[in-house]
Structure 1
């Protein structure tokens, strides 16, 4: 196999996986929000898209080959996605995660054959350790917070899927929490390049202590209680110059309540979906009943079983 040939097994992710886009109305009289069901990706989150795309491009460039080792610094979904993609491509994977990350996430990474290294401190310390170890060992570092292939995955794949699914092929507004910044930037660029005249809206959770240390909900106003997102850490977002970006703050309690409401409607999502949906309702009310507002349900509920969002269901 030459350096530019992708492995033959399990080469299906971008070729055939198209997650649904559904109009979701939380209650009578509320605006319908177009929601991309990214929790239906193979490992249960939208991070499957960036993990596979980053690895495939690195493989084509000759930076990876069968048996190589991949490293990423992530408190949860991205590491899970990399672990799955590496298992499909015949690669080894080492996840560097904060000590505060939940056991559910560690188990999922290990189930796909990944190795987990817990690091004391926050994401800055985790990133530093992953960078140093990958450099010392000669391993490939995914660099989700800085790798432009992250944005490209959403611009080329997620965004183009949405444009092919939404009535009229045009989006008026895109709403998303901000972690790496890849989702909101990539989707905005896809819709803008298609001539939609789209605006971008960042969803920001307030009072983030309610999410506790198990949260992986994303925000522009970062907190030590939110592993995986630290102020100034995302080069993808900080380098983005978008004149049509608006911030929308949502109380954590509302995020969790909307997450439970989505469960009752049959959507097995995590708290970031409640955040995105809450902000989307605000945007839709501002733009009016004819606006086509798009958001993402980023991940599935099972990685949050020990999270506060499940407290009312515990015996």
Structure 2
């Protein structure tokens, strides 16, 4: 008689019922949420040159940022992998926006959520996490990873680890990911296949999703390129150039949510066509300039994205090239009123915004960007 040496991990009816309800809650939230808008930025100089520039407004999500999509994917990934069940404490290392979105979904499924964040995290982000029922554990920037892992282990919880799982938790082939949404919305525009899609990298998940999607639909988007813009004190651009995974920085980026002091596992350099460094002062000047154009405040990473997009538009103008560029509004500026929109804070960081503001306000000087 054949004998089997096996172990069983059979889920109880209660465990199955909890997972079913948790997934239903997350999917119900998805059904309640309309897609985010694609805003055409009206800039006469670009229009005259035959260049259309678009901003996909990810701040319109219920939790207020691009990270809403990621948080939903990470929660579903954790539940379906058996890592999150009833009573599991969810822990994340995050500078703010991911934590806000994960707190939002953790509340939907009735789970305790703890964000391990750098001490310099904007106070408004901390208030939003706590307003959604989350807890905030502030540490030195260099300690967020190990502290999140330690805390999850101590509490018998689950460390979400967005920096490892962002690129694999998201279905880059479709399922209304950001790439599918973006390209679908572009389909009836004057130049439906963008010359450039521009994004910044925090986990690397968004750039991985968009880059892979472009390659999956290479026949339709053979002339579309992906540019990733990188703020100061981030290792991504250097890693892109030399592929050294051991690069580290000992100072954090001032542009929260993007740029990393180490190379993250979710950053996929081979799906990126080009990277551009953007000074922090340029990012902040750009969101202040943009407020005068669209009459609303945006977060710092939006400024990084848009400044890089304008630099690419300048190149297209010089080359007499028509087409379109698409980038992202990552989150709203209300979270940064005491930092990026505070002149005293900007001065304390020794940043001079005026040279960049002059270029942006007098758009005729864009050639000198």
2:349 is matched with which residue? none
CA contact (8 A) 2:203 2:266 kept: yes
Distance change (3 Å), C-alpha of 1:312 and 1:88:
same
Distance change (3 Å), C-alpha of 1:270 and 1:234:
same
Q: Give the count of matched residue pairs.
A: 300
Distance change (3 Å), C-alpha of 1:150 and 1:307:
farther
**Distance (Å, rounded) in 2 between the aligned partners of 1:154 and 1:102:** 31
**Is residue 290 from structure 1 mapped to residue 322 from structure 2 by the alignment?**
yes
Query: What per-residue deviation string (whole Å, max 9, x for no partner) do you get for residues 78-134 of structure 1?
Result: 111111111112111011011111221111111000011111x22x31111101221
| Selected match of 1:275 from 301, 304, 310 | 304
Query: What per-residue deviation string (whole Å, max 9, x for no partner) do you get for residues 141-174 of structure 1?
Result: 1111110456625663111111210035533322
Query: What per-residue deviation string (whole Å, max 9, x for no partner) do you get for residues 5-49 of structure 1?
Result: 242436344434310112213x32034322110011111111011
Query: What per-residue deviation string (whole Å, max 9, x for no partner) do you get for residues 289-309 of structure 1?
Result: 532222111011121011133
1:303 is matched with which residue? 335
**Is residue 204 from structure 1 mapped to residue 267 from structure 2 by the alignment?**
no
Distance change (3 Å), C-alpha of 1:148 and 1:311:
closer
Q: Secondary structure at the match of 1:308?
A: coil
Q: How does 1:174-253 map to 2 (within 5 A)?
A: 174-195=197-218, 196-197=221-222, 198-206=224-232, 220=237, 224-226=251-253, 229-237=259-267, 239-242=268-271, 244-253=272-281
**Distance (Å, rounded) in 1 between the aligned partners of 2:75 and 2:171:** 11
Tell me the CA shift for residue 140 of structure 1.
Answer: 1.3
CA contact (8 A) 1:171 1:191 kept: no
Query: What per-residue deviation string (whole Å, max 9, x for no partner) do you get for residues 191-237 of structure 1?
Result: 2212212322121234x6xxxxxxxx996466614266433341111
Q: Indicate the larger mover: 268-277 or 1-10.
A: 1-10
Structure-1-length-normalised TM-score: 0.85
2:96 is matched with which residue? 76
Cα RMSD (Å) of the superposition? 2.7
Q: How does 1:90-239 map to 2 (within 5 A)?
A: 90-119=110-139, 121-122=140-141, 124-149=142-167, 152=170, 156=174, 157-167=177-187, 170-195=193-218, 196-197=221-222, 198-206=224-232, 220=237, 224-226=251-253, 229-237=259-267, 239=268
Q: Indicate the larger mover: 290-299 or 8-17.
A: 8-17
1:59 is matched with which residue? 79
**Is residue 19 from structure 1 mapped to residue 36 from structure 2 by the alignment?**
yes
**Distance (Å, rounded) in 2 between the aligned partners of 1:200 and 1:170:** 12
Q: Secondary structure at the match of 1:104?
A: helix
Q: Secondary structure at the match of 2:39?
A: strand
Larger radius of gyration: 2
Segments of structure 2 that go 5 or more residues without pairing to the other structure are 1-13, 239-248, 347-369
Q: Secondary structure at the match of 2:161?
A: coil
CA contact (8 A) 1:271 1:309 kept: no
**Distance (Å, rounded) in 2 between the aligned partners of 1:291 and 1:151:** 32
**Distance (Å, rounded) in 2 between the aligned partners of 1:254 and 1:109:** 28
Q: Indicate the larger mover: 81-90 or 144-153.
A: 144-153
Query: What per-residue deviation string (whole Å, max 9, x for no partner) do you get for residues 215-267 of structure 1?
Result: xx996466614266433341111x5423x521222333322222012212223
Tell me the CA shift for residue 65 of structure 1.
Answer: 2.3
Segments of structure 1 that go 5 or more residues without pairing to the other structure are 209-216
